[in-house]
């Protein structure tokens, strides 16, 4: 009885904390509606790209309901919904026509009853780019390929039956020819479920918190000759440090149990960006048992309907589906697909394969 009262007190304390954080964040974002004027000031913006299919199909609206390894991008608190072990490989054709592909691999693991760990790697393939110089502006002297890689390790804990939280440590590496930048970012999040059937949920996630990044390497060095003694020397330029694209997700969802094997999940997330326009994301997911899931979503930001005021190639609509195939007792194979509408280019397509056991 004493232990149960302690659990109830902890749940009450965390619930109040969640509400107060959300309340003050809403007041803050109401006073500063968007930060589009700072667009372009942050670097490492690949941290804003969702490499996973399920949450992409919902327009990233599932802050309060995301599950398993995909929580590493949306809200790491959802990692506590991992049943045992989960492996995911996802390939994204980013802005089809640009020859940019994103490969993502990771796994999540349940440890005991309340502890969870995950590890994920996100790698960009941008093709080969011609090397050019002042004397050879057309190239013809070889090519180079940019190397952008993000590696994240996460820990999450189930505090009570209703509240979970987690944290992610992420290492960011950007390399172009003989110039490289390395940075570190931390994500943190919390989820809260309520209702008789846990059909109502809230979530808050803070992403990309970390020190400024800068570039270094031989590529910043230039050779110059002093006119006095005609001596050739190397001069090194200093790279200006830049900030990471900090953001906050605040989301909620409601699950409708239509019939025995049919569910409808309505989700919404407000994204407060420090270096971009704020976004309002809506998502709808239909579930038939655990075999089929259909998803659609929309991400709105100011000016998105006007080509002259739009500040992103993603025009808002998203859609996708998942098919799960049970194997033996606890093993499940799944295929995920997501489409994000873009203008220009031919959309963004994400294909994912996962196994859980």
Residue-level pLDDT at 95 = 94
Closest CA to 60 of 267, 257, 207, 255: 267
Residue-level pLDDT at 2 = 46
Domain boundaries, position 322: 2-356
* pLDDT average, residue stretch 278-300: 95
Number of domains within the chain: 1
Which band of pLDDT confidence, cut at 50, 70 and 90, is reported for residue 338?
Answer: very high
Residue 62 scores a pLDDT above 70: yes
Q: What are the tens digits of pLDDT across the range 313-329?
A: 999 999 999 999 998 88
Residue-level pLDDT at 225 = 66
Alpha carbon of 132 to those of 144, 166, 293: distances in Å?
10, 46, 48
344 prior amide bond cis, ω within 30 = yes
Residue-level pLDDT at 194 = 92
How many C-beta atoms lie closer than 10 Å to residue 128's C-beta? 11
Rounded CA-CA distance 271/251 in Å is 9
Q: What are the tens digits of pLDDT across the range 90-109?
A: 999 999 998 899 999 999 99
CATH number of the CATH domain containing 79: 2.40.160.60
Residue-level pLDDT at 260 = 86
Q: Is 228 exposed, middle or buried (0-12, 13-18, 19+ CB in 10 A)?
A: exposed
Residue-level pLDDT at 42 = 84
Tokens of 339: 């489409």
Which band of pLDDT confidence, cut at 50, 70 and 90, is reported for residue 30?
Answer: very low
Residue-level pLDDT at 229 = 64
Which band of pLDDT confidence, cut at 50, 70 and 90, is reported for residue 226?
Answer: low
Q: What are the tens digits of pLDDT across the range 115-132?
A: 999 999 999 998 888 888
DSSP symbols for 80-114: GG--SEEEEEEEEEETTTS-EEEEEEEEEEEETTT
Rounded CA-CA distance 324/334 in Å is 4
Residue 37 scores a pLDDT above 90: no
Residue 64 DSSP SS3: coil
**Which one has a higher pLDDT value, 135 or 268?**
268
**Which residues touch 298 (CB under 8 Å, ≥6 apart)?**
59, 281, 282, 316, 317, 318
* pLDDT average, residue stretch 152-157: 96
Rounded CA-CA distance 102/100 in Å is 7
Rounded CA-CA distance 69/66 in Å is 9
Least confident of 17-31, 44-58, 156-170, 193-207: 17-31
Rounded CA-CA distance 86/356 in Å is 4
Residue 258 DSSP SS3: strand
Residue-level pLDDT at 21 = 55
Residue 177 scores a pLDDT above 60: yes
Least confident of 1-10, 118-127, 211-220: 1-10
* CA torsion, ordered 286, 288, 294, 295, to nearest 10 deg: 30
DSSP code of residue 42: B
> Percent of the chain at pLDDT above 70?
86
**Which one has a higher pLDDT value, 181 or 31?**
181
Q: What is the pTM of this model?
A: 0.86
The vertex-286 CA angle with 75 and 248, nearest 5°, equals 20
Q: What are the tens digits of pLDDT across the range 228-243?
A: 666 777 677 778 888 9
Residue-level pLDDT at 127 = 83
Residue 69 DSSP SS3: helix
H or E element, residue 3: helix 2-31
DSSP symbols for 208-246: EE---B-EESGGGEEEEEETTTTEEEEEEPPPPPBB---
Residue 31 scores a pLDDT above 60: no
Residue-level pLDDT at 1 = 47
Beta bridge partners of 331: 327
Residue-level pLDDT at 29 = 46
Tokens of 9: 């007190």
Residue-level pLDDT at 14 = 58
């Amino acid at each position: 009885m004493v232990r149960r009262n302690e659990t109830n007190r902890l749940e009450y304390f965390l619930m109040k904390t969640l509400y107060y954080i959300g309340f003050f964040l809403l007041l803050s974002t109401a006073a500063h509606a968007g930060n589009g004027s700072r667009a372009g000031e942050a670097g490492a913006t690949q941290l804003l790209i969702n490499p996973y299919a399920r949450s992409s199909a919902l327009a990233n609206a599932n802050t309060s309901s995301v599950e398993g390894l995909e929580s590493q991008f949306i809200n790491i608190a959802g990692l506590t919904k991992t049943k045992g072990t989960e492996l995911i490989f996802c390939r994204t054709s980013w802005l089809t026509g640009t020859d940019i592909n994103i490969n993502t691999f990771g796994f999540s693991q349940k440890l005991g009853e309340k502890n969870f760990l995950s590890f994920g790697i996100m790698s960009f393939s941008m093709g080969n780019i011609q090397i050019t110089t002042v004397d050879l502006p057309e190239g013809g002297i070889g090519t180079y390929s940019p190397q952008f890689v993000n590696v994240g390790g996460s820990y999450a804990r189930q505090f009570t039956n209703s509240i979970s939280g987690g944290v992610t440590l992420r290492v960011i590496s950007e390399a172009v020819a003989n110039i490289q930048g390395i940075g570190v970012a931390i994500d943190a999040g919390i989820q809260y479920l309520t209702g008789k059937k846990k059909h109502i949920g809230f979530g808050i996630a803070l992403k990309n918190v970390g020190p400024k990044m800068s570039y270094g390497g031989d590529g910043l060095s230039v050779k110059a000759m002093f006119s006095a003694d005609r001596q050739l020397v190397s001069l090194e330029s200093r790279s200006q440090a830049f900030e990471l694209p900090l953001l906050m997700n605040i989301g909620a969802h409601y699950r409708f149990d239509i019939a025995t094997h049919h569910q409808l999940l309505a989700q919404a997330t407000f994204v407060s960006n420090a270096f971009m326009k704020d976004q309002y994301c809506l998502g709808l997911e239909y579930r038939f048992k655990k075999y089929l899931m259909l998803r659609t979503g929309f991400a709105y930001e100011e000016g998105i309907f006007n080509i002259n005021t739009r500040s992103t190639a993603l025009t808002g609509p998203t859609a996708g589906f998942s098919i799960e195939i049970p194997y033996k007792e606890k093993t499940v194979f799944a295929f995920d697909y997501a489409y994000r509408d873009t203008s220009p280019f031919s959309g963004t397509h994400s294909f994912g394969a996962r196994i859980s056991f």
